[in-house]
């Protein structure tokens, strides 16, 4: 069939219905009024599920008929077409011209007005668009004789949605439906409005009306889904499910069901009410035949039987599944669970976070008698043995791993035989040891062994691998598994001696190099043999660094991974390790480059961004950070905007389970902890970026509604439950979550493998962080206001004070103090003690920024709360102001002096230094700017309030003092940064490479590498690998590290310079007579 000039494409056409009188109704996938405008809308639209072929026939028929109609929203189609064509080609001005012409002939046509609003909105004139669409709405309401067609309404709906006024669109549809109560087309439009608003109750009511009108199954299911959503995502009580069940039961009795998804929903409703018997009855009845995939049906049946407590029947069902799918591990666990009459696996499913399911299966202590238990397990063993015998495919692992699970269960009941388990693991190793997943497969089984038994197992495994005469790739796989299992079994990295670990590194690295020839004929896109060896080498080198604090190991780890990426540049595992290593060393710009090379986009940002975001948040790389935040928020907000429309798509395609899933998923993302962090950090970044110009900063604050919105967020956060969607498995062992970095602390043995995320702790602490951070915009706003109010108040002696600001600031300070763990007066005391030589016990590196921020805001508040006059005995500044300046100086210079400008020095102190300058110092700078602006009137006002400055000479002195003070501090910082740049590049490089040139300690892997490179030839390695090897040099890596670090420092230097300039200009302003 040829595409028609103006016809919808076949992909867009979703459903066609041919009526007896030959009228046809259509629904489009990307339902747009544009398409509809080209063909007449039908006043009575109905939708029916038809087969693809029937759709095509109907489409041909419809095309023949479509030309006979010609009205769009009461306006001839030919007059509307040019408007849509212009919109299509983004010629909005042209479109507007056409609309204006159209409106001159149809001034009261809501459709024409809706089109105008649409064009205006696209032209970026939201206010005009809103007013025009409100006009259209009014006309729709006023003139009852007008055609209330879905075309006009849906055009208006689009505008209202884009203008963030879903409520207005809903109101239009509600009105239309009340005027024409039996119009299915309008009711579907209204249902869609409620879907967009997540109004589950109203969805349900509308769907029921539609169901009553036409009696179609799908409308009933729309209602049932809406009820389920009330229970799962709203405040609906469980008893509502009984109502849904009743509705379904009645419909089934008279009409049966025709869609597999309808059956699934029916069963899920019964399941949720624990009516497993009823569900089973339905499933085994006629309706069961709706489920076309037999295994799916059996799985469902097994689950229901198990939940109903009929374990024997359930085990039979799972056994049947295993016979046809012998590799289905989950099914085996279900089977075993049923044999042992342990239903905990189903209870856990309901409790566990579906995004972070546990690695291990929980099992209850068995209530079976010893004999029963033994006999059940021997039944399982016999069945598994049969499965093993029946499977010819040597890639099927499940029946072999199953024997291990059976042994594990025995162990858990105190009936285990270690030797059996060890033998079984060895057997499994012989069969599957060469696979990359071997270690993760057996992880949970070796866990039950004692340390001695683990050693014994290791010895056996080593012996076995020694005798193996496998093909080279298989042999390599076995050796890698052996290395991995060694680490796993012995917690190897933490117990072995330094020299043993060094030896392991060298061995693994050598193995990688020696086996490179195996990969010489592989496509560069394909994963190479032994790639894992380099990440394992890196892991141990980092461990050595942690133990010895010798930075050389860290450098060597970086070199190893960079080498791996030079050989094949696609290994994402290396890239993630590298980005953490570079971050730790301070070469954040290089870390960011590696992150970008991972091409993390769309939903991956939600699970992977945590690898880089926290470091960037405390860095001076503001442009990069801004891009990260912007891209991420755009992705999330786009999803929230479009999610409801996709939910409606699932409704229309009768995939009801997906309806529920989509709504739950949207909820999950809306509560994402990372999303909240990004939302709070975005304005803070803007405020940091503009802090050197108070006018611009005020513009930003205005855009943030003076921080009110974030204040609300801060108030709400406590009651929200956050979701954690990060994929923590991607993180390296030394930083299992973004809050934890073992390398910053002293060496201690940790069992990082296996590890599970600690969601609860993170929830509480992150909420506090967000609560605190979201106070910042408002605190900054109020501080600026308070500073300027203090001056004005000072000038106009009896003038109006601004008690609101002072009062609100005080309340927020109380909250801030509370978040630091103190009352306002206690916190003030802590602040007073800040500059007293010895460090207060409550202030540490981890909360220093919070305390200094608090001091900035406290000072601003005191300015307007009459403390101004009580200046410090030694100077002209108010006491707290003085303390603030002194503390900033003290802490900043303390950091600067503690760090040698060495390329390899630790970086965490620099992060803190950067934060000191870009946060408290910046906010304090704003307060000073605000004071100065108020007491130094602009030329226009000079005559009126010329005395302001003179009358507050104390303040002038305070400003002068403070500016001088802070200028010195910044000068020192800039001088310090310059030191870094002073050394010639060669010397810098040498200082890195020298770390690896000792006879002992770090450098042994590199030494091996250099020997290897010089010994290889292209015949052995193939051109590609050989070329990569030859052109690679460790000096390049050192250079990359160094320039990366310097780049970050240069960015920081630029920030300091900008602040320094601001202070200089303020100095001049104050100095002017």
- Classify residue 135 by burial, with Cβ atoms within 10 Å: 0-12, 13-18, 19+: middle
Query: How near is the Cβ of 405 to another protein at its closest, in Å?
Result: 9
Roughly what angle, to the nearest 10 degrees, separates helices 260-272 and 294-307? 10
In this chain, which of 602, 823, 898, 998 binds another protein, going by CB under 8 A? 602
CB atoms within 10 A of CB 109: 21
Q: Is 730 near another protein (CB under 8 A)?
A: yes
CA dist 154 and 191 (Å) reads: 12
Q: Is 135 near another protein (CB under 8 A)?
A: no
Query: How near is the Cβ of 728 to another protein at its closest, in Å?
Result: 10
Q: Residue 101: phi, psi to the nearest 5?
A: -60, -45
Q: Is 11 near another protein (CB under 8 A)?
A: yes
**CB nearer to another protein: pick between 56 and 307:** 56
Q: Is 845 near another protein (CB under 8 A)?
A: no
Q: Is 357 near another protein (CB under 8 A)?
A: yes
**CB nearer to another protein: pick between 2 and 90:** 2
Write the binding mask 50 to 79 for another protein: x where contact by CB under 8 A, - elsewhere: --xx--x-----------------------
484: cis peptide before it, omega within 30°? no
In this chain, which of 382, 604, 708, 807 binds another protein, going by CB under 8 A? 604
CB atoms within 10 A of CB 89: 10
CA dist 310 and 289 (Å) reads: 22
Q: Is 987 near another protein (CB under 8 A)?
A: no
In this chain, which of 327, 418, 447, 456 binds another protein, going by CB under 8 A? 327
Tell me how many degrees the CA angle 469-473-475 measures, rounded to the nearest 5.
35
Q: Tally helices (H) and strands (E) across the chain.
A: 53, 4
Tell me how many degrees the CA angle 538-533-992 measures, rounded to the nearest 5.
30
In this chain, which of 199, 725, 855, 859 binds another protein, going by CB under 8 A? 725
Q: Is 181 near another protein (CB under 8 A)?
A: no
CA dist 38 and 32 (Å) reads: 11
In this chain, which of 370, 390, 526, 900 binds another protein, going by CB under 8 A? 526
Q: Is 751 near another protein (CB under 8 A)?
A: no
**In terms of DSSP bridges, do strands 24-28 and 71-72 run parallel, antiparallel, or are they unpaired?**
unpaired
| Residue list 210-269, contact with another protein (CB under 8 A) | none
Q: Is 440 near another protein (CB under 8 A)?
A: yes
Q: Is 969 near another protein (CB under 8 A)?
A: no
**CB nearer to another protein: pick between 45 and 576:** 576
Q: Residue 211: phi, psi to the nearest 5?
A: -60, -45
CA dist 219 and 188 (Å) reads: 10
| Residue list 296-325, contact with another protein (CB under 8 A) | 325
In this chain, which of 459, 642, 804, 971 binds another protein, going by CB under 8 A? 642
Q: Is 4 near another protein (CB under 8 A)?
A: no
Q: Residue 332: phi, psi to the nearest 5?
A: -60, -45
Q: Is 5 near another protein (CB under 8 A)?
A: no
Cα 618 to the center of its chain, rounded Å? 19
Strand partners, 71: 76
| Residue list 564-583, contact with another protein (CB under 8 A) | 570, 572-573, 576
Query: C-alpha distances in angstroms, 329 versus 347, 800, 899, 931?
Result: 18, 75, 54, 69
Q: Is 727 near another protein (CB under 8 A)?
A: yes
Q: What is the DSSP letter of 878?
A: B
Query: How near is the Cβ of 554 to another protein at its closest, in Å?
Result: 24
Q: Is 401 near another protein (CB under 8 A)?
A: yes
| Residue list 672-701, contact with another protein (CB under 8 A) | none
Residue 187 CB contacts under 8 Å (≥ 6 apart), including other chains: 177, 206, 209, 210, 213
Query: How near is the Cβ of 129 to another protein at its closest, in Å?
Result: 24
| Residue list 1043-1062, contact with another protein (CB under 8 A) | none
Q: Is 427 near another protein (CB under 8 A)?
A: no
In this chain, which of 608, 617, 1049, 1066 binds another protein, going by CB under 8 A? 608
Q: Is 435 near another protein (CB under 8 A)?
A: yes
Nearest to 122 by CA among 169, 80, 162, 155: 162
CB 397 within 8 A of CB 441: yes
Query: How near is the Cβ of 316 to another protein at its closest, in Å?
Result: 19
Query: C-alpha distances in angstroms, 976 versus 442, 915, 970, 1042?
Result: 53, 16, 10, 16
Q: Is 183 near another protein (CB under 8 A)?
A: no
Q: Is 354 near another protein (CB under 8 A)?
A: yes
Q: Is 360 near another protein (CB under 8 A)?
A: yes
Nearest to 793 by CA among 951, 928, 927: 951
Q: Is 441 near another protein (CB under 8 A)?
A: yes
Tell me how many degrees the CA angle 338-339-342 measures, rounded to the nearest 5.
50
Q: Is 520 near another protein (CB under 8 A)?
A: no
Q: Is 653 near another protein (CB under 8 A)?
A: yes
User: Which span (300-308, 312-320, 662-670, 915-923) binds another protein, by CB under 8 A?
Assistant: 662-670
Query: How near is the Cβ of 327 to another protein at its closest, in Å?
Result: 5
**CB nearer to another protein: pick between 481 and 496:** 481
Query: How near is the Cβ of 811 to another protein at its closest, in Å?
Result: 39
CA dist 79 and 82 (Å) reads: 7
Q: Is 759 near another protein (CB under 8 A)?
A: no
**CB nearer to another protein: pick between 317 and 876:** 317
**CB nearer to another protein: pick between 657 and 693:** 657
Query: How near is the Cβ of 333 to another protein at its closest, in Å?
Result: 9
# residues near another protein by CB under 8 A: 73
Roughly what angle, to the nearest 10 degrees, separates helices 166-179 and 184-197? 150
- The DSSP-derived string for 605-646 is HHHHGGGTHHHHHTSS-HHHHHHHHHHHHHHHHHHHHHHHHH
Query: How near is the Cβ of 348 to another protein at its closest, in Å?
Result: 11
Q: What is the DSSP letter of 31?
A: -
| Residue list 868-927, contact with another protein (CB under 8 A) | none
Q: Is 598 near another protein (CB under 8 A)?
A: yes
**CB nearer to another protein: pick between 655 and 865:** 655
| Residue list 273-292, contact with another protein (CB under 8 A) | 292
Query: How near is the Cβ of 336 to another protein at its closest, in Å?
Result: 13
Q: Is 553 near another protein (CB under 8 A)?
A: no
Query: How near is the Cβ of 235 to another protein at its closest, in Å?
Result: 23
CA dist 626 and 629 (Å) reads: 5
Strand partners, 27: 15
Q: In 198-293, where does DSSP find H-type helix?
A: 200-214, 217-233, 240-255, 260-272, 276-284
Query: How near is the Cβ of 48 to another protein at its closest, in Å?
Result: 17
Query: How near is the Cβ of 532 to another protein at its closest, in Å?
Result: 9
**CB nearer to another protein: pick between 297 and 772:** 297
Q: Is 1028 near another protein (CB under 8 A)?
A: no
Q: Is 664 near another protein (CB under 8 A)?
A: yes
- What is the b/e burial string over 656-670, where b = at least 16 CB atoms within 10 angstroms of the residue's CB? bebbbebbeebeebe
CB atoms within 10 A of CB 954: 15
Q: Is 371 near another protein (CB under 8 A)?
A: no
**CB nearer to another protein: pick between 594 and 710:** 594
């Amino acid at each position: 069939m040829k595409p028609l000039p103006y016809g919808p494409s076949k992909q867009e056409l979703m459903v066609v219905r041919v009526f007896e009188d030959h009228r046809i109704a259509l629904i489009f996938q990307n339902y747009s009024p544009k398409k509809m405008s080209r063909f007449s809308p039908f006043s009575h639209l109905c939708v029916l599920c038809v087969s693809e072929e029937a759709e095509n026939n109907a489409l041909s028929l419809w095309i023949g008929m479509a030309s006979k109609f010609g009205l769009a929203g009461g306006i001839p189609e030919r007059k509307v077409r040019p408007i849509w064509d212009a919109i299509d080609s983004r010629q909005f001005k042209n479109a507007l011209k056409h609309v204006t012409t159209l409106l001159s002939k149809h001034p009261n046509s809501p459709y024409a007005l809706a089109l105008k609003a649409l064009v205006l909105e696209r032209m970026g004139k939201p206010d005009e668009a809103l007013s025009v669409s409100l006009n259209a709405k009014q006309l729709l309401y006023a003139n009852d004789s007008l055609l209330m067609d879905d075309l006009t309404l849906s055009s208006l709906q689009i505008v209202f949605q884009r203008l963030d006024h879903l409520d207005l669109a809903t109101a239009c549809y509600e009105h239309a439906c009340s005027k024409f109560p039996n119009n299915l087309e309008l009711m579907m439009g209204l249902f869609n409005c409620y879907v967009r608003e997540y109004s589950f109750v109203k969805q349900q009511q509308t769907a029921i009306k539609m169901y009553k009108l036409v009696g179609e199954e799908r409308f009933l299911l729309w209602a049932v889904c809406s009820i389920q959503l009330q229970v799962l995502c709203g405040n609906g009580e469980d008893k509502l499910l009984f109502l849904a069940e009743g509705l379904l039961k009645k419909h089934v009795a008279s009409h049966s069901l025709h869609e597999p998804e309808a059956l699934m929903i029916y069963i899920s409703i019964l399941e949720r009410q624990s009516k497993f018997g009823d569900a089973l009855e339905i499933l085994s009845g006629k309706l069961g035949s709706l489920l076309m995939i037999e295994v799916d049906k059996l799985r469902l049946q097994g689950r229901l039987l198990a939940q109903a407590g009929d374990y024997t029947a359930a085990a039979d069902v799972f056994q049947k599944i295993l016979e046809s799918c012998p590799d289905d591990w989950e099914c085996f666990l279900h089977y075993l669970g049923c044999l042992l009459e342990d239903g905990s696996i189903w209870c856990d499913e309901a409790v566990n976070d579906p995004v972070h399911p546990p690695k291990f299966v929980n099992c209850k202590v068995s209530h079976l008698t010893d004999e029963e238990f033994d006999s059940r397990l021997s039944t399982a063993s016999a069945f598994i043995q049969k499965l093993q015998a029946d499977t010819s495919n040597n890639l099927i692992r499940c029946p072999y791993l199953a024997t291990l699970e059976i042994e594990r269960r025995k162990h858990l009941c105190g009936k285990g035989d270690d030797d059996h388990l060890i033998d079984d693991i060895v057997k499994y190793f012989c069969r599957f040891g060469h696979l990359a997943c071997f270690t993760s497969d057996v992880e949970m089984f070796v866990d039950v062994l004692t340390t001695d038994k683990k050693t014994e197992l290791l010895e056996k495994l080593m012996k076995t691998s020694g005798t193996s005469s496998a093909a080279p790739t298989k042999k390599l796989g076995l050796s890698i598994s052996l290395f991995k299992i060694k680490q796993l079994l012995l917690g190897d990295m933490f117990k072995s001696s330094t020299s043993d670990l060094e030896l392991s590194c060298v061995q693994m690295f050598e193995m990688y190099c020696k086996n490179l020839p195996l990969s010489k004929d592989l496509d560069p896109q394909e994963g190479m043999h032994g790639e894992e060896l380099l990440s394992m080498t890196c892991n141990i080198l980092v461990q050595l660094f942690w133990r010895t604090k010798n930075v050389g190991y860290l450098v060597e780890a970086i070199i190893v991974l960079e080498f791996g990426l030079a050989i094949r540049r696609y290994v994402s595992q290396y890239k993630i390790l590298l980005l953490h290593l570079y971050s730790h060393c301070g070469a954040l710009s290089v870390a960011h480059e590696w992150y970008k090379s991972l091409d993390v986009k769309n939903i991956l940002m939600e699970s992977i961004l945590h690898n880089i975001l926290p470091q960037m948040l405390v860095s001076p790389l503001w442009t990069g950070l801004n891009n990260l935040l912007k891209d991420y928020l755009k992705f999330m907000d786009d999803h929230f905007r479009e999610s409801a429309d996709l939910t409606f798509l699932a409704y229309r395609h009768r995939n009801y389970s997906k309806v529920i899933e989509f709504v739950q998923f949207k909820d999950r993302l809306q509560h994402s902890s990372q999303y909240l962090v990004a939302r709070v950090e975005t304005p803070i970044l803007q405020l940091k970026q503009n802090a050197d110009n108070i006018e611009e900063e005020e513009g930003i604050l205005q855009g943030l509604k003076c921080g009110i919105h974030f204040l609300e967020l801060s108030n709400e956060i406590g009651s929200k439950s956050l979701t954690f969607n990060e994929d923590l498995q991607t993180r390296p062992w030394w930083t299992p979550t973004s809050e934890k970095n073992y390398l910053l602390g002293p060496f201690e043995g940790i069992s990082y493998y296996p590890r599970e995320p600690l969601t609860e702790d993170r929830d509480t602490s992150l909420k506090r962080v967000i609560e605190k951070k979201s106070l910042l915009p408002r605190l900054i706003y109020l501080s600026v206001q308070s500073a300027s109010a203090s001056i004005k108040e000072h000038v106009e002696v009896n003038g109006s004070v601004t008690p609101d600001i002072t009062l609100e600031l005080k309340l927020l300070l109380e909250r801030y103090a509370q978040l630091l763990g103190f009352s306002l007066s206690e916190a003030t005391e802590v602040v007073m003690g800040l500059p007293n030589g010895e460090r207060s016990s409550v202030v540490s590196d981890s909360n220093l920024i919070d305390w200094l921020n608090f001091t900035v805001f406290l000072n601003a508040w005191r300015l307007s709360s009459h403390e101004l006059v009580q200046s410090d005995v030694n100077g002209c500044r108010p006491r707290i102001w003085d303390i603030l300046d002194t503390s900033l100086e003290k802490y900043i210079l303390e950091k600067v002096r503690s760090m040698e400008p060495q390329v390899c020095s630790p970086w965490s102190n620099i992060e803190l230094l950067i934060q000191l300058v870009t946060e408290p110092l910046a906010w304090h700078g704003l307060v000073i700017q605000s004071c100065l602006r108020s007491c130094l009137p602009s030329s226009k006002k000079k005559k009126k309030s010329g005395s302001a400055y003179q009358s507050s000479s104390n303040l002038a002195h305070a400003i002068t003092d403070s500016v001088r003070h802070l200028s010195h501090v910044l000068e020192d910082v800039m001088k310090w940064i310059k030191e870094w740049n002073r050394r010639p590049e060669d010397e810098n490089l040498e200082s890195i490479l020298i770390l690896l040139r000792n006879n002992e300690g770090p450098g042994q892997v590199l030494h091996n590498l250099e020997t290897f490179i010089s010994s290889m030839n292209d015949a052995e390695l193939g051109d590609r690998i050989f070329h990569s090897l030859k052109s690679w040099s460790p000096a390049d890596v050192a250079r990359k590290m160094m320039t990366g670090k310097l780049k970050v420092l240069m960015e920081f230097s630029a920030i300091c310079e900008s602040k320094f300039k601001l202070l200089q200009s303020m100095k001049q302003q104050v100095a002017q007579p």
